[in-house]
Amino acid sequence: MQRYDATTALVVVDLQNDFADPRGSLAVEDAGRIVPFVNDQVRAARAGGALVVYSQDWHPEHTPHFAQDGGIWPVHCVQHSWGAAFHEALTVDGPVIRKGTNGEDGYSAFTMRDPVSGETVATELEGLLRTRAIRAVVACGLATDYCVKATALDAVRLGFLTSVLADGVRAVDLKPGDGDLAIAEMEEAGVTLVHEWDDGRVHHEQEL
């Protein structure tokens, strides 16, 4: 099990119905299977005194992020909809960071980008972590090749010791292999990929 303490934040990325449920508009294959693992990590994080934070896509009905309005994605995670809600089996025990609320591209839990101007704005996440004197970020959730990757890369850029839980992510794989390429990109940037082995212990290169 991942080691957690008061200087660590577990960031659960976008485990929402539209991504994690087979009925969702942008469902990721096998995404629901990670929920029990993520819940175990939430319990371990809480027991170790770590901060647990959840990111949530929270889009208006119309946004340049959506294909119907000129973007690339089907309509998903519309504010107050079933699709925007967290997976019903997910343990939600911590603050929620909503992103894309004003129509931005909200991939990273740390930053959003205006799809028209390209301007980047911060979410509340970095400030929350700084206030809690967080040193290490552990990420899991959906999807490996988009929001998890963007969150992990931002965490590294902001100076956090960053890990991604291999058993707690799934990829969209719009193109076959996108998930593997995302993992390679994250590792190249300094993210540690943490694996659970058969003995139930975590083996990784960096110590949190």
Which residues are catalytically annotated? Answer: 14, 99, 147
Question: Is 74 strand, coil or helix?
Answer: coil
Report the 3 state secondary structure along 129-189: HHHCCCCEEEEEEECHHHHHHHHHHHHHHCCCEEEEEEEEEECCCCCCCHHHHHHHHHHHH
Cα 86 versus chain centre, distance: 12
Q: Could you tell me the end-to-end alpha-carbon distance of the chain, in angstroms, rounded to an integer?
A: 13
- Say which residues have a Cβ less than 8 Å from residue 52's Cβ, sequence separation at least 6: 9, 10, 12, 42, 45, 46, 93, 94
